[in-house]
Amino acid sequence: MNVFLQPIETNRDPNRKLKSFHNRSYNRDSYRPKFALANPHDCSTGDGPHRSHRKRLPLTNFLPMLRTSSTLCLLTFWLLASHQAHGEFELRDAVECHPRAGLPHFTAKIESGETVRVAYLGGSITAAPGWRIQSRQWLQQQYPKATIEEIHAAIGGTGSDLGVFRLQRDALQHAPDLLFVEFAVNDGGVAPERIHQSIEGIVRQTWAANPNTDICFVYTLTQQMLSDLQAGKMPRAASAMEVLADHYSIPSIHFGVEIARLESAGKLVFKAPKPADMNAEPMVFSSDGVHPHVETGHRIYTETIARSWPKIMEANQTAQPHLLGPPLRDDNWERAKMVSIEPEMLSGNWTELAADHSLAKRFQRNMPELYQANGPGATLEFTFEGTNAGVFDILGPDGGEVRVQIDGNEFTRNRIDGYCTYHRMATLKVGSELEPGKHTVKIELMPNQLDKREILFERNQTDFDAKPEKYKDHTWYASSLMLIGDLER
């Protein structure tokens, strides 16, 4: 028996009332670029899933890894806090599967018994050992003559606005035949037009690299998204992504439609302590309202793929290369990329961390190169032609203050924040929505001794009191440049 396809009763209770629904929409004219330089109060890539650009907070630039309970708390906090409306944006009807043009290239290879590679690009829900692993195993069961290889390209706490930069390094260089894209939760607080920029960049980069790679959008959900789905509408982020799915004829699967039905029928509790018996009824979906349990929520996600698969196979056309026609947005992020830091960009006291260094080992999959600034005056300088720049870096208890200078303007950033009892991947935003052209950037580690106890959240100050040595250094760890444009060499 297929362990992923145990039947689940989904009949609605006709006497159970659905939750009220407040249509959340978005006015295209209300969104404008907020800054040319990085805004010191902007919640940018890495402040956790469901980032709100409406609510400005001074907690800048972090990308937590899904590895500790404190990380789950961090992710949950942001997801619950930032599920806010931006204005008018038409929500799409909640349909579990839109097969569109199907997955013809992937299907042809897998049905022929060839080796295929499936890439999973997403956040912590995809990084968990759940639907990602289960769906690959299910595909292997359905196509036993084929060999199915997985490309793990998920990072907890990240949205499509980092995914578009790391796509080449984390997924495309491994030549996937199928790319799953999962960012509907982590993009939940992002303006639809910004979602269009980054998701379209992902699509166009993928087909520019290999026009025979098929793409499938998958949409996950949080507890705050249930009311939309139970009112028959997709939440805003998924609705925004559907615009691009239509434009490029990309199939999409919404995992949340079935979850919403089960919750309405009283057969699923979305958030509750994890029971000792995971087979107990009603089933418990999650402990935090965000991250599904592998045994329940992730299983339903996998079953949704299995249920949608015949529709997608039926929609398959003759396999033809995916052509890059006119874009939906001329300002899409197709040119976004990670660029390696070169030794000549560095001055002052820097060390490239050895492969056996604890941080290098921990972040090696996503940060194959990692440099540490060892003292004040250590500087990273580069010039690029384009519109956006940042640095893929690390926040942590030993983080210091850096000064960013770009085109004669400057600002400072701390590489520690209230959560930093541990290290996590982050992005240092340097410039966004800049005028097209050449820009010069200089980032320097400053001598200022930060009051780190004061920076930490009150609940984390006990860690500082117990382990002050952990916080004594003031350093900076930098991995790669993030550019929309090209490095001037």
What is the full DSSP assignment across 90-154? Answer: PPPB--SEE-TT--HHHHHHHHTT-EEEEEEEESHHHHSSSHHHHHHHHHHHH-TTSEEEEEEEE
- Region 463-472: what's the mean pLDDT? 98
Residues 237-281 pLDDT 10s: 999 999 999 999 999 999 999 999 999 999 999 999 999 999 999
The span from the CA of 245 to the CA of 243, in Å, is: 5
Does the pLDDT of residue 84 top 80, yes or no?
Answer: no
Tokens of 228: 């939309």
pLDDT tens digits, one per residue of 298-320: 999 999 999 999 999 999 988 99
Which spans in 210-275 are helix H?
Answer: 226-230, 236-248, 256-264
Least confident range from 37-46, 73-82, 179-188, 384-393: namely: 37-46
Which CATH superfamily does the domain covering 97-315 fall into? Answer: SGNH hydrolase (3.40.50.1110)
Residue whose token pair is 């037009």:
193
Angle at which helices 192-209 and 236-248 pack, to 10 degrees? 40
Quick one: pLDDT at residue 87? Answer: 52
Does 174 have pLDDT greater than 80?
Answer: yes
- The string of pLDDT tens digits covering residues 41-52 is 333 333 333 333
Q: What is the pLDDT of residue 318?
A: 87
CATH homologous superfamily, domain 336-487? Galactose-binding domain-like (2.60.120.260)
Cα separations in angstroms, 392 against 230, 308, 396, 455, 460: 38, 36, 14, 22, 25
Over 70: is that where the pLDDT of 416 sits?
yes
The pLDDT score that the predictor gives to residue 362 is 96
Task: Return the domain boundaries, the chain.
Answer: 97-315, 336-487
How confident is the model at residue 17, as a pLDDT? Answer: 33
Write out pLDDT tens, residues 212-239. 999 999 999 999 999 999 999 999 999 9
pLDDT at residue 326 greater than cutoff 70: yes
Average pLDDT over every residue of 321-336: 96
pLDDT value at 73 more than 70 = no
Task: Give the whole-angstrom CA distance, residue 152 versus residue 109.
Answer: 20
* Angle of the 131-142 helix axis to the 297-315 helix axis, nearest 10: 50
What's the predicted TM-score (pTM) here? 0.80
Q: Is 245 exposed, middle or buried (0-12, 13-18, 19+ CB in 10 A)?
A: buried
Q: What is the pLDDT of residue 25?
A: 35
With tokens 């996590």, the residue in question is 424
